[in-house]
Every structure is written in structure tokens, then in C-alpha cells.
A and B are shown apart, each in its own frame.
Chain A
């Protein structure tokens, strides 16, 4: 079916055009470039395998961000489980390794301040203040009420203002 073929090309082209933005969000969420690109890759693979559930004519960017965000949450949970097991066995080694890696990466004030935020607040801050979504759009991506998004955002940005000083 030719119509369908055209549609499928448009889907891939659309995702391709979104890649720079998706990378930005992925790197912001994972606080690390190579983790961010891994997250991007998982997101693309998931999107391609679930393309049937994308409704043409609706916003592809929000759809992709939602996939990325959910994958990232899953990954965080899996990581927490792993690190709990790991830490109980050889906490000293694990902590030393993480510290060493961090020292090798140049981290500036903004990165440091963002890293200190709880995940839900960082996510809200990134979606609204970096990706430029409205509160309603960001809440749809996260899957929470607008009021919840708003209060996470406010707590996150107050914490950032306190850390970074109020003059940018």
C-alpha cells in the first residue's frame, strides 16, 4: 500500500528531525552524555517497535518524549535495585568507582545544581525550562496532573535559584 509506505517514511523522518532535541532531553535526564545517547537509542528502538500506536496528526515530539521519560524511569528503578544489592556487599568499592568517574568529567555549576534535584523535579524543570513545553504539555508527557507538575517545577526552580544565586 503506497499510502502506508509514505506514512512510514514520514514517521522515520519525523523522528530523525527530532533527534537533536531528544538527545538534549536524554542527556539532561541521565546527567551523562553516553548514558543519554544510550537512552536515546532505547527510545528510538521502542518508538519503531510501537509505531502502530502513534496516531498520525498528533504531536510526535510529545509521544517520543513520553517514551523516553518512561524508559528512563524504568531504568532508574532497575538501577536502584542493582545498587542496593551491590552496596550491601561491597559499598566501599562501588562508591570509590563512582567518585572516580565523576572526577573525570567536567561538571559546572548548572550541572551540579540540576544533579542535586530529585528526579521528578529535574524532569519538570527540563521539560518546561529547557524543552519549552507548556505546563499542560509537560504534565501530559509525565502523566501527572498539571497542579502536580506546577508544584514540582516550583520546588525545583527554587532549589536551583538557591544554589545558583539569583543572578544568572
Chain B
């Protein structure tokens, strides 16, 4: 069979439906020249993404980040005065060890929750608070809710200078990501908006779709955050 340039590129990109994909796959297997072209397409893609990847690791210029923090109204004034620049690098989560004492204080208090699960205060907020209706003064703020790859409900939250992402399973809210005092002691990442931004970056990697809207959140709360069958 003859394969067009468009079909071959779409095949290399995984853009064909299963039936077309299988057809082209057979043609490619039977023709070393086509196989070579597919490999070239994939190598080009790898080369281009490697070429631009370093930009993701650079710190974002403060002039850009400041445009988005100017209207930030989550933090109190004292924090605002202390807040300075310091946009997190993209790879923060793979970074230095977290400050264990703060984690312990927040997440594992006095055996009231299994290890790795949210403490009572946070679990209550995760169970009860809806993003659209929670009071602005709530000690634990839920930032948004989403589904992870397995369909479980997950919620990102921020409490004072700490935050995290927790997903609901049969035992409770399992804390998958924690963000805490490691960078906070030098004052750079105090601003709640920045903590949220770091979490959002991670939510994007975990989420299997857009965040739940207010109605979907209310439904999820009604079913006690149990995933649908």
C-alpha cells in the first residue's frame, strides 16, 4: 500500500485511530525505508524537545511573575511585606529534602491518622470544604479538586505556609505531595500565591482532566469523595 507523508507523520506521532494505525504499522514493518522515515520523525521530535527543554528549568523573569502576583489577595499584609521574588524552579519537587519537623507537625499528629495520610484538621477541610463556598479565612484552604489517572478524587490545599495534594482512598486522604518549610525559612516563598503556584504545577502533572467545577465538586462531596465505578 502507498503511505502518504501525512499518514506517516501522524503514525509517528501516534495520531491515527487504531484501525489506521494497524494498517500503517503493517506497511512500515514491511518496508525498511518507511521504518527509517518513522525513526527519523521520532528522532526529530526528540531533538526539538531537547532543544527547548532548558527553558523550562530557567527561573521565570521576575517582571513576568510580578504581573500575576500584583493582585494577589490571599496573604495577609505582614506576609506581603516579607514576600519577595523567587519563582520556584520547575523541578522543585525533585529538589532538596523537605523539612521533616514541619511535615510531622502538620501531617502526622499524635497517631490520629495513618502514616502518610492527612491529619484530622486537614482531612476535615478536604471532606467538607468546597472551593466555591469555603470562607476566605479558613485555616486550611482547598485550592481545587481533580481526578488523578486512576479516577480517584484528589484535592490541592494550602494551610498557612504549607500545602499539599491529597487523594482519597479507602483509608482517608493520602497525602501525595507536600510543600512545606524548606524554602520558607529564608522568607522567599512566603507568599501563599507562590505556594499555590507550585502545587498547581504538580496538579497539572497528576490530573487526568480539567479541575472539577463547583457543581462537580458538590456532587463529589455528596458521594464522600468515592470514585465512580
Contact = CB atoms under 8 A, between A and B. Distances in A.
Specify the main secondary structure of chain B where it touches its partner: helix
A64 B5 CA distance: 31
Contacts of A12: 68-69, 71-72, 193
Given A9-B193, A41-B64, A168 B132 contact: no
A71 interface: no
Contacts of B15: 134-135
A88 interface: no
A79 interface: no
Contact of A8 (B71, B141, B144): B71
B152 interface: no
Nearest to B136: A2
* B46, B61, B135 interface centre (most CB from chain A within 10 Å): B61
Interface size class of B (residues with CB under 8 A): 35 or more
B224 interface: no
Given A17-B198, A56-B213, A135-B13, 15 more contacts: A9-B73, A9-B74, A9-B193, A12-B71, A13-B68, A17-B201, A19-B64, A20-B55, A41-B64, A44-B64, A130-B48, A161-B40, A161-B44, A164-B44, A168-B47
Interface of A: 2-3, 5-10, 12-17, 19-21, 23-24, 27-28, 37, 40-41, 44-45, 48, 56-59, 108, 110-111, 114, 125, 128-130, 132, 134-135, 150-151, 153-154, 157-158, 160-161, 164, 166-168
